[in-house]
Structure formats: C-alpha cells, structure tokens
C-alpha cells in the first residue's frame, strides 16, 4: 500500500522527495550548486554593468538625484535575476540549468517569484552571518539542503532524474 502511494506522487503538505527511495535526485548536489552559483554570480556581475550605466544616465538627467540608486544596483539586479529565473516555470537560474539542477518546494511544487526572492535574501543574510556554517549544514543533511533551504521549505534536485521521476509518477 505504501508503494502505491509513492507511485501516485506526493499528497499535499507532504515531503515529496525521500533520499532513501530516490538517492539519484541528490547525487553531486553540492558541487553542482557551487558551479551554478559561480555561473550565476558572473551573469549578475555582467548584468550590473548596464544597470550602473542606466543609473549614471538617470543621475545626469535628474541632476544627481538618480545617483541615490547606486547602492541598490546589486540588490535590484540580483533579486530581479532570481525572480525572473528561479521564480520561472523552470524553477532554476541559468547557472542551475547548466549544472542540471533545479529547486522545488518540499511538496514538489515549482518555485514562484516571491519565494525565489526570499531564497536569495535568506541566502545573503545567512551567508553574511554564518559563512562557513551554511555549507556545514549541507554536508550533514542527507539531502544536502542548506540552512536557508530548510527555513524556506525548499530543496535542490537533479533535473534529469526529477523529470524521469515525474514522468513515472505521471505528474
């Protein structure tokens, strides 16, 4: 009976991804996550160049009033990037897609823009406060979840294996 419920997919409010039943969903998650972070960091840094230029032009047009936005350029670009990519139907940033991973909620739902922004904010706050410890938490977790994943109820999964599992479940 328990096997039948697993084949039907998760029920609302339950944890959809068991590491003992589907260990392939979690293979090499932390190294892939680091690769994805590096790719996304490069993309955000490159995207900041036109944003800085736009703020500089805005500052000239508004007689230096627009330059007040300079301290916020990184946050606007980075959180906008997360909302548009991680919060998209693919539930993955460009770096995550390249690394072959995606993020879901524990119930199996795809990410949405607000949750993606919260994920980014929690990551930056916790990294600033507990830099080495958020990675230690990932090493100790059987599903390699980081602290901000645990607090927000999200999980990182291997995309090809997840697609196969969803195909088998019919979801």
Q: Residue 26 carries which DSSP code?
A: G
pLDDT at 169: 84
> Does 4 fall in a domain?
no
pLDDT, tens digit (0-9, with 9 covering 90-100), for 44-78? 999 999 999 999 999 999 999 999 999 999 999 99
Instruction: Output the pTM of the full model.
Output: 0.87
pLDDT of 7 strictly over 60: no
**Interval 139-149 mean pLDDT:** 91
Residues facing residue 33 across a β-bridge: none
119: tokens are 């994920």
What average pLDDT score do residues 159-167 get?
94
Look-up of token digits 């160049």: 49
Beta-carbon contacts of residue 111 (< 8 Å; ≥ 6 apart): 86, 87, 88, 91, 103, 104, 105, 119, 154
Reported as a single tens digit per residue, the pLDDT across 123-138 is: 999 988 987 787 788 8
DSSP letters of 38-95? HHHHHHHHHHHHHHHHHHHHHHHHTTTGGGGGGGGHHHHHHHHHHHHHTTSTT-S-HH
Note down the domain range covering 118. Answer: 25-161
Phi/psi class of residue 108: alpha, beta or left (left: φ > 0; alpha: ψ in -120 to 50)? Answer: left
* In-domain check, residue 5: no
Residue 11 lies in a domain: no
pLDDT given at position 5? 41
- The domain total for the chain is 1
């Amino acid at each position: 009976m328990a096997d039948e419920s697993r084949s039907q997919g998760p029920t609302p409010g339950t944890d959809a991804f068991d590491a003992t039943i589907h260990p392939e969903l979690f293979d090499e998650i932390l190294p892939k996550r680091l690769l994805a972070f590096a790719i996304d960091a490069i993309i955000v840094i490159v995207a900041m160049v036109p944003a800085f230029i736009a703020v500089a032009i805005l500052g000239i047009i508004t007689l230096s009033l627009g330059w007040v936005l300079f301290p916020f350029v990184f946050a606007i670009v980075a959180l906008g990037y997360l909302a548009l990519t991680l919060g998209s139907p693919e539930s993955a940033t460009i770096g995550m897609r390249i690394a072959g991973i995606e993020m879901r909620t524990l119930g199996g739902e795809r990410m949405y823009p607000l949750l993606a922004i919260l994920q980014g904010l929690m990551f930056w706050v916790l990294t600033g406060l507990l830099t080495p410890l958020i990675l230690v938490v990932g090493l100790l977790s059987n599903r390699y979840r980081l602290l901000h994943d645990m607090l927000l109820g999200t999980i990182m999964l291997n995309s090809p294996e997840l697609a196969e599992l969803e195909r088998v479940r019919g979801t």
